[in-house]
């Protein structure tokens, strides 16, 4: 038997160019909130919203450039599963925040 029995399992894990683009975008999406917080350039609410948007964008960048969510035999199922998981997590988190905010006896 040879070392490589499964010749059909060759995966393309991205190119150097895609890794560099993902890395640069991640750095930029990290620096923007840092600069906003360090220099107090916006109100607290606007800063918080900006940080959350940058975090979501960074999450998407990480998924597509480093975790290769688009690649594989069935990439549509990967994305659908991820979206379902995010909906469940957001429902739990937002529901918990709602209950903690408006639960007054």
Give the Cβ contact number of residue 27 at 10 Å: 11
Q: What is the pLDDT of residue 64?
A: 81
Residues 6 or more apart in contact with residue 11 via CB below 8 angstroms:
71, 72
From residue 65, alpha-carbon distances to 30, 40, 57, 58, 60 in Å are 16, 31, 12, 10, 8
CA 61, 40, 42, 30: dihedral to nearest 10 degrees?
A: 0
Q: What is the pLDDT of residue 52?
A: 87
3 state DSSP class of 9: coil
Note the helical H segments in the chain.
16-39, 44-61, 75-102
Q: What is the pLDDT of residue 105?
A: 66
Could you tell me the residue ranges of all domains in the chain? 13-71, 72-105
Mind listing the pLDDT tens digit of every residue in the chain (105 residues)? 454 444 444 555 678 888 999 999 999 999 999 999 999 999 988 998 899 899 888 988 888 888 777 766 766 777 788 888 889 989 998 888 888 888 876
Q: What is the pLDDT of residue 4?
A: 46
């Amino acid at each position: 038997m040879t070392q490589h029995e499964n010749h059909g399992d060759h995966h393309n894990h991205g190119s150097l160019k895609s890794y560099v683009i993902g890395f640069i975008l991640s750095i930029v999406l990290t620096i923007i909130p840092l600069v906003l917080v360090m220099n107090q350039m916006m109100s607290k609410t606007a800063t918080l919203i900006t940080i959350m948007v940058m975090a979501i964008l960074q999450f998407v960048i990480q998924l597509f450039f480093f975790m290769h969510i688009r690649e594989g035999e069935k990439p549509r199922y990967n994305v659908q599963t991820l979206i379902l998981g995010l909906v469940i997590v957001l429902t739990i988190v937002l529901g918990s925040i709602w209950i903690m905010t408006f639960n007054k006896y």
